[in-house]
Amino acid sequence: MSLEQASDDVKLAVDLIMLLEEHALDPETVLKALEIVQRDFENKLAAQRSAG
């Protein structure tokens, strides 16, 4: 399957991986940052669900 046919979440994941790899960041740092990002978006999703 080509990336053009992939779902939006897969496309975003590929973009994020490429971005992070381009900056040659420490994998541990990346994983810690992704935990922060995940919590932030989980909070946004919860707020969105409670508002709707």
> Average pLDDT for consecutive 10-residue bins of the chain (52 residues)?
90 96 96 98 97 86
> Do 41 and 34 contact (CB within 8 A), yes or no?
no
Tokens 């990336």 -> residue: 3
> Do 3 and 14 contact (CB within 8 A), yes or no?
yes
Strands (E), 1-52: none
Which pLDDT does position 25 carry in this prediction?
94
Picking from 37, 7, 43, the residue whose alpha carbon sits closest to that of residue 19 is 37
Picking from 43, 24, 20, the residue whose alpha carbon sits closest to that of residue 33 is 20
This prediction has a pTM of 0.81
Tokens 């946004």 -> residue: 44
Segments making up each domain of the chain, as ranges: 25-52
